[in-house]
Amino acid sequence: MTIGTALRLLAVMVLWASCFPLITIGLDLAPHIAFAALRATLAGICLIALGALCGRPVPDSGRSWILIVVVGLGATSMGFLGMFHAAEFVSPGLATVIANVQPIIAAVLANVFLGERLKAIGKIGLALGLAGIAIIAWPGIAADHVQGYSLGIAYVVLAATGVSVGNIAIKRLTGQVDPIMAMGFQLLIGAVSLALLSMLTEDISLLTWSTEFVLVLVALSVFGSSLAFWLWFEALERVELNQANAFTFLVPIFGLMVGAAFFGERLEAIQTVGVVLVLTGILLVQRDAGSAVRR
C-alpha cells in the first residue's frame, strides 16, 4: 500500500469519526430518516456539481448503473437508515462494536464475489481488531440502560450489512466509472428511497431549519459523505477491500480523540489495551495483503 492510499484511508476514518457527534446534534433537530435523506441529497448534489464543473463523464453502461443502484440502496439507504435509527435505542459504544462487524461481513462477501481470500494471519488480524473495538466500547456498553436495545442492535446490523454490500459493489465499479460522478449518483439514489420512507413514516413539520441544523447538515454532507465517499472509492481502486476495510477499526479511536479534544472525554486504561489490539489487527491484515501481493 502506498503512502498516498494510506493517507486517503486515514482521512476517511477521521471524517467518519467526526460524524458521530454531529449526527447526535442533528437528531434533536429533525426526524431521523428525513435528516438522513437531506444529508444524502446534499452530498450527492455536491459531488455531481463538482463532476460537471470538472467535465467528468457520466456512467454510460447498464452494468455500471446496476452497481451504482446497489451501492445507493446498500451503503446509503440501508447504512444511513440503520445508523440514524440505532442512535435512538443504543449507546454509541455498543453501536460501534456491532457496526464494526462490517469488515467481517465484507470479508465473507469479498471471498465469494471478488475472490479476495485472507490467510490465517489476516483472519487473526480481523479478530484482534474486533476484540479491540469491543474493549474500547466496553465503558459505553456497560452504561447502556436504554430500553429497546434489541431493536437498536437490529438497526446497526442492518447498517453494517448494507455498507458491506455497498462496498462490494463499489469495488466492482472501480476502474469502470468516474468516482466523483458514481458516488454522487449513488447518494442521490439512496436519498430517494430515504425520502419516500420519511414521507410515509415521519412528520416532516418537526424539522427545525435553524442555523445550527444547517451547519450540521452541511458539515455532514460535504465532509462526512461527499468527500469521504470520494476518497474511499479512490482508495479501493488501489487496494483490496479487506485491506482497506481493516482501517475502519480506527474510527472509534479517532472518535475518542475527537471526544477528548472537543468534549473533555478521557481515555480509560482498559481502552488503551483496545487501541493496541486494533493497531495490531490492522498491521496483521496489511501484512497478509502484502504477502499475497508478493505471491
Q: Report pLDDT for 259.
A: 67
Lookup: cell for 204 = 416532516
Q: Which residue has the cell 440505532?
A: 86
Q: What is the pTM of this model?
A: 0.84
Sign of the torsion angle spanned by Cα atoms 162, 168, 173, 174: positive
**Boundaries of every domain in the chain:** 3-294
Question: CB–CB of 191/40 below 8 Å?
Answer: yes
pLDDT, one tens digit for every residue, the chain (295 residues): 788 898 999 898 888 887 777 877 887 888 989 999 999 999 999 999 999 999 999 999 999 999 999 999 999 999 999 888 877 776 666 666 667 778 878 888 888 878 888 788 888 888 888 888 778 777 766 665 555 666 777 888 888 899 999 999 999 999 999 999 999 999 999 999 999 999 999 988 888 889 999 999 999 999 999 999 999 999 999 988 888 888 887 887 777 777 667 666 666 777 788 888 888 887 887 776 555 444 4
**64-102: b or e for each residue (b if 16 or more CB lie within 10 Å)?**
bbebbebbbbbbbbbbbbbbbbbbebbbbbbbbbbbbbb
Give the burial class of 62: count Cβ atoms within 10 A of its Cβ; 0-12 exposed, 13-18 middle, 19 or more buried.
exposed
Q: Report pLDDT for 91.
A: 65
Q: Report pLDDT for 287.
A: 75
Q: Report pLDDT for 42.
A: 97
CA-closest candidate to residue 180, choices 205, 10, 188: 188
Q: Report pLDDT for 293.
A: 44
| Contacting residues for 77 by C-beta, under 8 A, at least 6 apart | 162, 189, 190, 193, 194
Question: CB–CB of 44/185 below 8 Å?
Answer: yes
Angle of helix 251-263 relative to helix 120-142, nearest 10 degrees, comes to 30
DSSP state letters, 81-95: HHHHHHTTTS-HHHH
The half-sphere exposure of 136 on its side-chain side, counting CA atoms within 13 A, is 28
Report CA-CA distances (Å) from 236 to 5, 42, 122: 9, 23, 18
